[in-house]
Structures are given as C-alpha cells and as structure tokens.
Amino acid sequence: MLDRYWKALIELIAVTFLLQTAALAQARYDLLLKGGHIIDPANHVDAVLDVAVSGGKIVAVAKDISAAQAAKVVDLTGLYVTPGLIDIHYHIGHGGAPLNWFTPEARSHEAPLGVPADLALQSGVTTVVDAGTAGADTFLQEKEEAIDTAKVRVLAFLNIVANGMQGGLEQTVDQMDPKRCAETIAKYKDIIVGVKTAHYWTEDPWDPEHTPWAAVDRAEECGKTADVPVMFDFWPRTDRSYADLILKKMRPGDIHTHVFAQQFPILLPGGKLNPIMLEARQRGVIFDVGHGAGSFWFRNAVPAAKQGFIPDSISTDLHTGNYRVLSMAEVISKFLSMGVSLQDLIQRSTVNPAREIKRPELGTLSVGREADIAVFEQQRGNFGYIDCGYAKMTGNLKLVTRMTIRAGKILYDPSGLSMVEWEKARPQYFTTPEFGHSPQSKADDYPRE
Ligand SMILES: [Zn+2]
C-alpha cells in the first residue's frame, strides 16, 4: 500500500517536472516586458505596448502579448520603456596616462582618466562612445583593458593626439598625425566611429609650433581621410572664433560637444539665441551636450532651450575628474525640468546619437535588433539640479533608471522588477552549494551577467 503511494507520488513529481520543462521549452519568448509605456522614436512609437525578447534579440513589440508565451514576464505598468541609451561622450581607460603614472620618474603624474564602462548601465545606457581618451599610440591598450572586457557596448572617437588625453602630450603638435590617425581608424573600424580633438592651446600666446587651428585642421584631415565625423572640444580665442569653427571649419555631420559651456557665444548680449547656431545647424553641424565637470551652464542652457535650441544629442562626459554630472538620467532630468518633453529627450539619447556615429541599427526597439532596453520611472516632486558654475536650478521632474537590458541580459535591476520575493524563491535558492559546484543559490536562471 505504502509502496503504491510512494510510486504514485514519484510519478506525479516526474510528470509535473516534465510538464514544466516542456512549458519552458515551448515558451516562445525568453522575456516579456508587459504594460510599459514604450518610447521608441526611431519607429515613431509612443504607446503602452509589450516587448518580447528571445535569443538576445527583440522579437515582438505589440499590444497584449500573452504572458503564457514567455519564460519570464516582467510587469512594467506605470514605467517608461525605451531603447538602451547611447552616451556619445564618455571616458574609459587610461588615456595617455603612463602605466607608471604614480612613480617619481613618470612623464606625467595624472591618474587614469576613464571610469568603468559598465557604470553607464546604472543610467539605462547600453552603448558608450569613448570621446578620444586614447589616440593611435594608446588605443590598443584601451581596447585590451576597457573595451573588450565591458558588458556595455563600447565604441570610440580616436584622439588626433597619438598619445591621447592625460599623458602630458596634448599640446605637442607633432603628436597630431592625420595619417596615423586614419590608419588606426581603418584598422579598428568596427569600434572607432570618429576623431576627437580637445583642450588645444587655450591660454598661451601663439608660437610657430602652436598656430590657432593646428589641432582642428589636423583632426579634420584625419576625419576626411577616414570618412568619419570629428568631435570638437574647443576654446575660442582671438584669431580662432567660434563662428569660424561652426560655419567654416566643421563639415556637415561633425559634432560640437560641450555646447552649453561658459566659453561659447551662443546667446547675443540681449539674451537672444545667436543666429550662427541655426546657420550652423542648416549646414548640418551637430551640437552635443557633453555636460562634464566644466561644460554646462544654466545661463546658456535655459535661455537656449526656451528659444527652442536643444542639442542634437545628450551626453555626460563622465570621467574620473567629474562625478558631479553623475549620469545620463541626471542630464536628461535637467532638460525635463527645463520643459523639454521626455519623448524628445529619448530621441536625442537614442536615434540621434546612433545617426551621428553612423550606427543606425542602434538606439531602436525594432524587431530583429539586439535587445538593448532601458526602463525608467518619471518622478514628480521638488528636485535641485546643479551646473558647472556652482549654480542651481529647481525642477519638478526627475528620471530614475529602473532596469537596463543589454542584448537580452538583465544587467541592472536594483529594485528587483524582474525578481521574485525571496520567500517565494524556488528550492534551489535555499540550498547551500558545495564548494565549486553548481547549482548556486539563485532564484532563477535568467541571464543577468
Ligand atoms: Zn570629454
């Protein structure tokens, strides 16, 4: 009698297990994001829809996809779902900082410039573009130490200075070799999307080596040869005006980053937007935020935004000297609080930067693309925002990142939107794994690393 009871019980457990396994094997989707408000400017979508993911790709975006078809379902009611953001001004790796930068004999005593690439995941960013931290001489080092190991997608602008930033050679014009720059871009064209010039000769008198446009002209020469855009960090001076940069020197598709920095005459003395900004836009010049530690002033940003001048792309310029800017979500929140719509800002953080770096396959939720997805909560309240001139602006909107998915993997989910309550976790979660043996005490098998 007892035997039959046990036999029946074992059969029941076996059948239940098989049914469960079959159900999972039959699940059409690995992941179903249900009920979120989708903002996908590349596809002109702004509506409550479900998103299904399988094999790391987006496989369906539609109304009311059945939860029974998915192995994992995440309820995102009340939240915004967008393509993973693209931060086109970010810094990773050493730059030109010598590997022995901390020793007495080092050429330069500056610490490495870059922050970890994966820090960007905390802000819904799935693609960062290094803005010229490395040049032709230091790019391989950056690739080995920071690009190849990142979970976030990393692309790069190559500094026209072969050593890159932070190595004490940024003012050495001989370092700016357009030929070597273009050769390096050709060699790594799957990663390098453009050229960067920055910080060139901002104060000292001109001399035979340091002519006003040396860095700009050499960066442009490389950009033309390699057929990629140039990103400009610039300081106007006598004999080197901002108007000449954006109306004469820059080609259509070139990017002026740090547009709301203190040194640019983007407003006329009476406060009206300088017409050169619109003239440059007409020519195809791109304007980027590149907030940074010293490149964002409300006195420029707020009047410009009020007059309808919003930078084409939003970016952070995160680096080790600059934790004041915090994140893409924080920079977007500043513009939200200036009255720019969330839809508009998501466009300027996804499809626009993707176009600027000529990677139109990024920054969309199109079916068939890699499942790079961000989930945000828009909070209302009283928030303070700061700029690089130590002034503040109050606002009543804030964008908070709730989840970041890269190629289908849930890499950031700090409040556990995709996780079960710990008391309800499967038995495996409550077991102590033997040393070196699986299975580990995990509540699910969804890829999260
Ligand atoms: Zn920068």
Task: Say what the pLDDT of residue 354 is.
Answer: 98
Give me ligand 1 centre to Cα 415, in Å.
31
Give residue 241 CA to ligand 1 midpoint distance, Å: 21
Ligand 1 geometric centre to CA of 290 (Å): 7
CA of 221 to the centre of ligand 1 (A): 21
Q: Residue 275 Cα, ligand 1 centroid: separation in angstroms? A: 26
Q: Are strands 192-197 and 153-159 parallel, antiparallel or unpaired?
A: parallel
pLDDT at 108: 82
- Rounded distance from Cα 93 to ligand 1 centre (Å): 13
Do the Cβ atoms of 86 and 105 come closer than 8 Å?
no
d(CA 197, CA 328): 22
Transcribe 60-107 into DSSP letters: EEESS--GGGEEEEEE-TTSEEEEPEEEEEE--S-TT--TTTTSTT-S
Q: How does pLDDT run along the chain (449 residues), one tens digit per residue? A: 446 655 655 555 554 444 455 555 578 999 999 999 999 999 999 999 999 999 999 999 999 999 999 999 999 999 999 999 999 999 999 888 888 888 988 888 888 889 999 999 999 999 999 999 999 999 999 999 999 999 999 999 999 999 999 888 999 999 999 999 999 999 999 999 999 999 999 999 999 999 999 999 999 999 999 999 999 999 999 999 999 999 999 999 999 999 999 999 999 999 999 999 999 999 999 999 999 989 999 999 999 999 999 999 999 999 988 776 679 999 999 999 999 999 999 999 999 999 999 999 999 999 999 999 999 999 999 999 999 999 999 999 999 999 999 999 999 999 999 999 999 999 999 998 887 777 889 999 999 99
Task: Tell how far the Cα of 313 is from the centroid of ligand 1, in angstroms.
Answer: 14
- pLDDT at site 41: 98
Cis upstream peptide for 303 (omega within 30°):
no
Q: How much distance in Å is there from the Cα of 400 to the middle of ligand 1?
A: 24
Report CA(198)–ligand 1 centroid distance (Å): 8
What is the Å distance from ligand 1's center to 91 Cα? 7
Q: How far apart are CA 360 and CA 134, in angstroms?
A: 24
Sign, CA dihedral 22-367-411-41, equals: negative
Tell how far the Cα of 229 is from the centroid of ligand 1, in angstroms: 16
Q: How far is it between the farthest Cα atoms of the chain?
A: 102
Residue where the block lists tokens 């950031």? 412
**How far from 252 is each of 26, 179, 214, 258, 357, CA to CA, in Å?**
50, 22, 20, 18, 13
Q: Which residues lie near ion ligand 1 (Cβ < 5 Å)?
A: 131, 317
| Counts of helices then strands in the chain (DSSP H, E) | 10, 17
How many angstroms does the Cα of residue 319 sit away from the middle of ligand 1? Answer: 7
pLDDT value of residue 98? 82
51 Cα to the center of ligand 1, angstroms: 34
Q: Is 123 exposed, middle or buried (0-12, 13-18, 19+ CB in 10 A)?
A: buried
